[in-house]
Amino acid sequence: MIKHIQIKDYKCLHDENLEIKPFTIVTGVNSAGKSSLIQSVLLPVRRIGKNGQILLDTIVNLTFDTIRNKYYNAKSVRVDIDIDNVHISYHGTNELSLVFLPSEEDAGMPIDIEQNLYYLSANRIGAELHSKISPQFKVGVVGEYIVGSFEKEKSNPLMPELIKDDSSYTLSAQVNYWLSYILDIPTELQTERRLDDVVEVQYKSDGLGNISPFQLGAGVSYLTKMLIMCLRAKKNDVILIENPEIHLHPASQAKVGEFLAFIVRAGIQVIIETHCEH
C-alpha cells in the first residue's frame, strides 16, 4: 500500500507532504489540485511498468511545460512515493526522468497499473451496449475493459472479506447485491460474450430482464464499473477513483461511501477525489 507522498511543483501543488491512509478522501474546490494529487501517483507508476506506459500516455500529458507549477515558475518537478518498503522518486527538469530506488528488503517492482493498482478517471465511459474484452487489461483508465473482465470472471469466487451476500461467493452475486442495495431496487448485470473480444451488456431491474443500459439512469452504468473494479481487487491492491458518486442520487452516494469503507476493511487501499457531501 501507498504510505506517503511528497510532491514538489507538480501542476498547482507546490510543496505537499502527505500521509496516505488505507481510505484517503481528497476534497476541495474546483482546480484545487484534487486530480493532480491522483495523477502524481500515476507519474512514477507509468514509468516503472509496461501497462502504465501504454494506458496512461493517453490521459497524462507529460511534457515538462504542462506539468510544472507555472505559478512559482518551477524549474523542476519531483514526486516521491513510499510503497510499503519501497521508495520511488520521480524527478523531472527539461528532460523528464525517473529514479527508482527500492529498499534493501524488497528490490522487486512495488506497483504496476492493472496488476495491483487500478485507476478510474473522471472521464470514464458510461452506458454501452457492447464492451471490450482484453487479454491484457482488466480496467482501462476510462473503464473500457471492466465489463469484459466481469464476463470472464463473473463465476469466480471472491475472497471471504469481500462477501456481503452469502447466498453465492461469486463476483456476479456480489456485484448484483451492491447494485441492488445502492440503487434501492433489485438490479442485476447481465452479460453475454458475442465475439472473442466483445461482450453484450444488459440489465435486469425490478424483475424485468433484457433492459438496455440506455434505458436506465446514467448513474447505473458508472456505478456498475466501479463495483466490478473494487470487488475483483485483492488484498493490498490500490484503487484510485475520481468522482465515485457521479450521476447518483444523494442517498445512493451515501451508500457508495459505505461500500468503499467495506472494500477498505477487506485490506484494499482506496484513494478517491470527490465533490460529494454525502
- Split at pLDDT 50, 70, 90, the class of 174 is very high
Question: In which residue ranges of the chain is CATH 3.40.50.300 found?
Answer: 1-108
Asked whether the beta carbons of 206 and 135 are under 8 A apart, the reply is no
pLDDT score for 83:
86
Residue 150: pLDDT above 90?
Answer: yes
Q: pLDDT for 181-210, tens place per residue?
A: 999 999 999 999 999 999 999 999 998 999
Task: Fill in the amino acid letter for 152.
Answer: K
Selection from 80, 74, 72 nearest residue 98 by Cα: 80
- Select from 184, 159, 163, 185 the least CA-distant residue to 175: 163
CATH superfamily, with its number, for domain 1-108: P-loop containing nucleotide triphosphate hydrolases (3.40.50.300)
Of 42-51, 107-116, 246-255, minimum mean pLDDT range = 42-51
d(CA 112, CA 21): 19
| Confidence band, pLDDT 50/70/90 cuts, at residue 136 | confident
Rg over CA atoms, the chain? 19
What is the pLDDT at residue 94? Answer: 60
The pLDDT value recorded for residue 99 is: 46
For cell 469466487, what's the residue? 157
Map grid coordinates 502504465 to a residue: 52
How far is 264 from 257, CA to CA, in rounded Å?
11
Please report where in the chains the cell 469466480 appears, as a residue.
156
CA distance 121 to 206: 30
Burial degree of 145 (CB within 10 A; 0-12, 13-18, 19+): buried
Inter-CA distances, 13 with 76, 78, 206, Å: 12, 11, 47
Indicate if the pLDDT at residue 9 is higher than 60. Answer: yes
The pLDDT value recorded for residue 54 is 47
User: What does the pLDDT look like over 234-264, one tens digit per residue?
Assistant: 999 999 999 999 999 999 999 999 999 999 9
203 membership: H or E segment, kind and range: strand 198-205
The per-residue pLDDT for range 261-275, each reduced to its tens digit, is: 999 999 999 999 988
Q: Break the chain down into helix, strand, coil percent, rounded to 5.
A: 30, 30, 40
What is the pLDDT averaged over residues 6-24?
91
pLDDT digits (tens, 9 = 90+) for 50-85: 554 445 555 555 667 778 888 888 888 888 888 887
Share the mean pLDDT of the chain.
86
Residue 166 CA, chain-centre distance (Å), reads 26
Q: What does the pLDDT average to over 24-52?
A: 75
What distance in Å separates the CA atoms of residue 17 and residue 15, rounded to the nearest whole number?
7
Task: Output b/e per residue, 102-129; b: 16+ Cβ within 10 A.
Answer: eeeeeeeebbebbebbbbbbeebbbbbe
Closest by CA to 4, choosing from 80, 92, 78, is: 80
pLDDT at 137: 83
Query: From CA 122, how far away is CA 39, in angstroms rounded?
Result: 12
pTM: 0.88
What is the reported pLDDT for 58? Answer: 53
CATH level 2 (architecture), domain 114-277:
3-Layer(aba) Sandwich (3.40)
DSSP tag of 216: S
Q: Is the pLDDT score of 16 beyond 70?
A: yes
Least confident of 11-25, 58-72, 154-168, 195-209: 58-72
Identify the band that residue 35 occupies on the pLDDT scale cut at 50, 70 and 90. confident
Q: Residue 123: pLDDT above 70?
A: yes
219 three-class SS: helix
DSSP string of 228-267, one letter each residue? HHHHT--TT-EEEEE-TTTT--HHHHHHHHHHHHHHHHTT
